[in-house]
Structure 1
Amino acid sequence: MKIDWVALGSVFGVSLVATVVLVGLFTLGIIGLSKQPSAAGQTGGGSVALFRGGAYLCFALCAAAVTYGIYLIVT
């Protein structure tokens, strides 16, 4: 049995990068949803909406990446 070390390294590298990107996107989504206006009297409605929209975008990108991965596995 011969192991193709270059292919194994390539799969490891792509998996590592994909994992870091997905975890980073999910973390940004969680941070975006946790942003609340400060209690010092600032409404900050526009910035909260911007953070919430960015969070939803991050979650959508995570869902798209997972869906694409499942598509690659099935086909």
Structure 2
Amino acid sequence: MIKWDSLLLVAGVAIGASVFITAAFSLGMRWLTNARHILETTEKSPSLEVRDSTNPLEVVFRVGAYVMFTICAASVLYGIYLIVPYFHMG
């Protein structure tokens, strides 16, 4: 006999996890692209003195993108941990 509630639970979690990982990766790519566009549009100073021209918004986008990529990598590694039975041997 098929346990339909368990099947629906597994299907829901699989779809939800797929949407979450895809959304996190897409958001990370978007933020990384925004950071690169901010970097390209920043005007350079023609003077001889060296100054820091890093825009704080670029740093926020870049850090956010790296956090999203880290979440994606951690999710994939956790999925591999759940699938491979060798990691569960006691």
Shorter chain as denominator, the TM-score bin is: 0.7 to 0.9
Query: What percentage of aligned pairs have identical amino acids?
Result: 40
Aligned structure 1 segments of 4 or more residues deviating by more than 6 angstroms: none
- TM-score between the two structures when normalised by the length of structure 2: 0.73
- TM-score between the two structures when normalised by the length of structure 1: 0.86
Match of 1:50 among 51, 54, 60: 60
RMSD across aligned C-alpha pairs, in angstroms?
Answer: 1.8
Deviation at residue 39 of structure 1 after TM alignment: 3.8
**Residues 40 and 65 (structure 1), Cα distance of their counterparts in 2 relative to 1, 3 Å cut:** closer
Which structure has the larger Rg over C-alpha atoms? 2
Consecutive unaligned residues of structure 1, counting only runs of 5 or more, are: none
Partners of 1:40 and 1:68 in 2: CA distance: 39
Deviation at residue 49 of structure 1 after TM alignment: 1.1
Task: String of CA shifts for 1:18-64, please: whole Å, max 9, x gaps.
Answer: 111111100110001101227485x6711011101100000000000
Consecutive unaligned residues of structure 2, counting only runs of 5 or more, are: 44-52, 86-90
Q: Which amino acid aligns with 1:12?
A: A
